[in-house]
Chains A and B, each alone.
Chain A
Amino acid sequence: MSDAASEPSLRALAPGLTPEIVAAVSKICRVQDLILVAQKCRVVTKFRNTIGLEKRLSTRLQPNHPTDDPTGIAASIVDGLMYGSGDAVIGINPATDSIAAVTTLIEMLDEIIRRYAIPTQSCILTHVTTSIEAINRGAPIDLVFQSIAGTEAANSSFGVNLAILQEGREAALGLQRGTVGDDVMYFETGQGSALSANAHHGVDQQTLEARAYAVARKFKPLLVNTVVGFIGPEYLYDGRQIVRAGLEDHFCGKLLGVPMGCDICYTNHAEADQNDMDVLLTLLAAAGVSFIMGIPGSDDIMLNYQTTSFHDALYARKVLGLRPAPEFEDWLKTMGIFEQDESVRLADSLPKPFQRALAHLH
Chain B
Amino acid sequence: MTNDKHVIVGADPWNKLRRYTPARIALGHAGTSMPTKPHLEFQLAHARARDAVHHELDIPALQGALQSRGYETILLHSSAESRPHYLQRPDKGRRLDADSHATLEASPRPAEPYDVVFVIGDGLSALAIEENAAKFLDAIMPSLVKDGWRMAPLSIVKEARVAVGDEVGAALGAKMVVILIGERPGLSSPDSMGIYMTLNPRVAVTDESRNCISNIRPGASATDHAAHRLLYLMTEARRRGLSGVKLKDEAAALPKAGPESADNFLIDER
Q: Which positions in A face B, CB cutoff 8 Å?
A: 63-67, 69-79, 82-83, 95-100, 108, 111-112, 115-116, 127, 129-130, 133, 156-159, 196-199, 232-234, 237, 267-269, 273-274, 295-306, 309, 311, 314-315, 318, 344-350, 354, 357-358, 360-362
A111 pairs with B248, CB closer than 8 A: no
Within 8 Å of chain A (Cβ to Cβ): is B89?
A: yes
A79 pairs with B25, CB closer than 8 A: yes
Nearest CB of A to B267, in Å: 5
A311 pairs with B34, CB closer than 8 A: yes
Nearest CB of B to A112, in Å: 5
A198 pairs with B204, CB closer than 8 A: yes
Number of A-B contacts (CB under 8 A): 218
- CB-nearest residue of chain A to B24: A297
A267 pairs with B184, CB closer than 8 A: yes
> 8 Å CB contacts to A: which residues of B229-263?
229, 244-245, 248-251, 253, 260-263
Within 8 Å of chain A (Cβ to Cβ): is B63?
A: no
B17 pairs with A79, CB closer than 8 A: yes
Nearest CB of B to A243, in Å: 18
A268 pairs with B188, CB closer than 8 A: no
Q: Which positions in B face A, CB cutoff 8 Å?
A: 1-3, 10, 12-14, 16-18, 20-27, 29, 32-34, 38, 42-43, 45-46, 49-50, 52-53, 87-90, 124, 183-189, 192, 204, 206-208, 213-215, 217, 220-221, 229, 244-245, 248-251, 253, 260-267, 270
Docked complex Cα distance between A65 and B17 (Å): 14
Q: Given A115-B267, A127-B245, A318-B32, check contact A98 B250 (CB 8 Å).
A: yes
Nearest CB of A to B265, in Å: 5
Candidates B53, B204, B249; contact of A269 at CB < 8 Å = B53
A67 pairs with B52, CB closer than 8 A: no
A304 pairs with B186, CB closer than 8 A: yes
Docked complex Cα distance between A108 and B34 (Å): 29
- CB-nearest residue of chain A to B3: A348
A-B contact pairs, 14 of them (CB 8 A): A69-B261, A71-B20, A76-B21, A115-B266, A233-B88, A268-B53, A269-B184, A296-B23, A304-B183, A304-B186, A304-B187, A309-B34, A346-B10, A358-B265
- CB-nearest residue of chain A to B222: A67
Candidates B88, B206, B249, B263; contact of A197 at CB < 8 Å = B206
Chain A residues with Cβ below 8 Å from B12 are 79, 82
B187 pairs with A299, CB closer than 8 A: yes
Candidates A72, A298, A302, A344; contact of B215 at CB < 8 Å = A302
B186 pairs with A72, CB closer than 8 A: no
Q: Given A115-B266, A296-B23, A304-B189, check contact A234 B90 (CB 8 Å).
A: yes
Chain A residues with Cβ below 8 Å from B221 are 66-67, 95
Q: Given A296-B23, A296-B25, A348-B1, check contact A273 B46 (CB 8 Å).
A: yes
Docked complex Cα distance between A360 and B265 (Å): 8
A159 pairs with B245, CB closer than 8 A: yes
B21 pairs with A69, CB closer than 8 A: yes
A349 pairs with B1, CB closer than 8 A: yes
Chain B residues with Cβ below 8 Å from A314 are 32-33
Nearest CB of B to A91, in Å: 15
B87 pairs with A75, CB closer than 8 A: no
B265 pairs with A71, CB closer than 8 A: yes
Nearest CB of B to A225, in Å: 20
Chain B residues with Cβ below 8 Å from A232 are 87, 90, 184
Chain B residues with Cβ below 8 Å from A70 are 261, 264
Chain B residues with Cβ below 8 Å from A82 are 12, 14
B185 pairs with A268, CB closer than 8 A: yes
Docked complex Cα distance between A149 and B43 (Å): 33
Chain A residues with Cβ below 8 Å from B250 are 98-100
Docked complex Cα distance between A156 and B217 (Å): 31
Candidates B23, B89, B183, B192; contact of A299 at CB < 8 Å = B23
A74 pairs with B186, CB closer than 8 A: no
Closest 4 CB pairs of A and B: A297-B24, A304-B186, A72-B21, A159-B245
Q: Given A234-B89, A348-B1, check contact A71 B264 (CB 8 Å).
A: yes
Chain B residues with Cβ below 8 Å from A69 are 20-21, 260-261
Chain B residues with Cβ below 8 Å from A197 are 206-207
A301 pairs with B32, CB closer than 8 A: no
